[in-house]
Amino acid sequence: MNKHMNHLIAPSVLSADFANLQRDVEMINSSEADWFHVDVMDGVFVPNISFGFPVVEAIKKHAAKPLDVHLMIVNPDQYIERFVAAGANSITVHYEACTHLNKTIQAIHNAGVRASVALNPHTPVELLTDIIVELDMVLIMSVNPGFGGQTFIKNTLSKVSRLRAMAQISNPDLLIEVDGGVALHNTAALSSAGVNVFVAGNSIFAAESPAQMISAMKNLASSAIQSI
């Protein structure tokens, strides 16, 4: 898995134009992007509400690439099968929202999709030591989830490096995803630290040419030399 999935760009549809959603989905389809990143927020786990099953289904209807669904919600277990039915190809749950994380990961795998765990900025990667072998991906939040327009938290690079070192021991194929404040200026540094999947919203959709921005980010990520 490592080689052909080395550097993936996952535009965040939360930053798309919802009055022209099909147009933006088709732009991502025809770009060099690899996944659609879909943020589901419930107004409880994070102080924001985004969208639910109907919008995920609408994106899936037009998407030619996998849906990477990030559940920023409490009690994610009760919705796993419904999000898979709506079109999710991977599901990310928050470490902070899951009391029985092994059970949740098993449920995601049983539903037939990639299983991922997200960590908020204050949550150390070392808490994943006992479960990292079960995971397909870890999402490191580089801003506090639920608040838009925040600056990238610099400690993220250290967290990614530590996580990549942990993965080398017990799960070398682990994908590391970063979300929040990801842009051209930090793509190479993140890639060098060990990031595989780059979630970007505003930096892509606010660009003059979103497709060119996706291409530029992908090139930067691929040309950076990993430190491990």
What is each CA distance from 201 to 15, 38, 154, 207, in whole angstroms?
Answer: 5, 10, 18, 10
Q: Which residues are catalytic?
A: 39, 179
What per-residue confidence (pLDDT) applies to 21?
Answer: 95
What per-residue confidence (pLDDT) applies to 52?
Answer: 94
What per-residue confidence (pLDDT) applies to 149?
Answer: 67
Looking up tokens 């610099």 gives 154
Q: Mean pLDDT, 10 residues at a time, over the chain (228 residues)?
A: 68 94 97 98 94 96 98 97 98 97 98 98 97 98 82 95 97 97 95 96 95 97 73
What is each CA distance from 210 to 27, 62, 115, 185, 202, in whole angstroms?
Answer: 8, 18, 28, 16, 10
Give the CA radius of gyration of the chain: 16
What per-residue confidence (pLDDT) applies to 224?
Answer: 82
* C-alpha 206, offset from chain centre: 19
What per-residue confidence (pLDDT) applies to 4?
Answer: 39
Q: What are the domain boundaries of the chain?
A: 8-223
Among the four given CATH numbers 3.30.70.890, 3.20.20.70, 3.40.50.300, 3.40.50.1010, the one describing domain 8-223: 3.20.20.70
pTM over 0.85: yes
